[in-house]
A = this chain, B = another copy of it.
Amino acid sequence: MPRTKEASQRIREEQRTKILQAARKVFARKGLAATVDDVAVEASVSHGLAYRYFASKEELIYALVKQDIPEPSAGLQNVQDMPGTPGERLNFLLSEFVKSRQHPEIYLLLGQVLSSDMAPPGLRELIHQRGLALQGVLRQLIIDGQATGEVAAGDPDQLVRAIFACLDGLIRWAVYYPDQYSDHFPDASIFLRMLKP
């Protein structure tokens, strides 16, 4: 008597999730050159099983990024329409961003995709687009903040880049040296200080 449809379905979802989580950890840390077997071992399954869930290593990476990459709408579009001064909204956006990181590895992963030449085609562009979207929102908030005097004068693009760099670098170091970084992950105030007039 075969397994019930529901049991089968549940197993498939659990395993898929387990493999994706293993892939996140492995690819984020070791780079996309990590082997499917690395992932399988991390997930405590055989590499063969990974191929029942993902047609190829490339598709596994693709599914992982698609699942992990923040939705562009997740607080970006509507931040613009929130009440409060530009400075307050900026504060909110960065705070949210810093707080929302359950999986800092995600950002490492995105970086790996950007820097690896074996990334699935299209993914690099997607990540780039998402980055630009966030950049755009930040940029506008900064310009608005400069108008109200809440943000220091200066080239807004350079300020945006500095923010991005902070985020990128801090996340990176947080993953590699979790002992020293994770507990005291710099809060949003550090970014705001850069923008203080």
Whether A172 is near chain B, meaning CB under 8 Å from some CB there, is yes
Report if A165-B166 is in contact (Cβ < 8 Å); known contacts: A30-B117, A155-B184. Answer: yes
The reply to whether A30 and B173 form a contact with Cβ atoms under 8 Å apart is no
Interface centre among A117, A152, A155, A169 (most CB of B within 10 A): A169
Query: What residues of B have a CB within 8 angstroms of the CB of A196 in the complex?
Result: 193, 196
Which residue in chain B gives the minimum CB-CB distance to A177? B128
Whether A104 is near chain B, meaning CB under 8 Å from some CB there, is no
Whether A108 is near chain B, meaning CB under 8 Å from some CB there, is yes
For the complex, give the distance between the alpha carbons of A152 and B161 in Å: 22
A 161-197 to B, binary, CB cutoff 8 A, 1 in contact else 0: 1101111111011001000110010100010011010
Whether A44 is near chain B, meaning CB under 8 Å from some CB there, is no
Interface set of A (CB-CB < 8 Å, partner B) = 29-34, 108, 111-112, 114-118, 152, 155, 157-159, 161-162, 164-170, 172-173, 176, 180-181, 184, 186, 190, 193-194, 196
19 of the cross-chain contacts (CB-CB < 8 Å) are: A30-B115, A31-B31, A32-B33, A157-B180, A157-B184, A159-B190, A161-B186, A162-B166, A162-B170, A165-B166, A165-B168, A165-B169, A168-B168, A168-B172, A168-B173, A169-B172, A190-B194, A193-B193, A196-B196
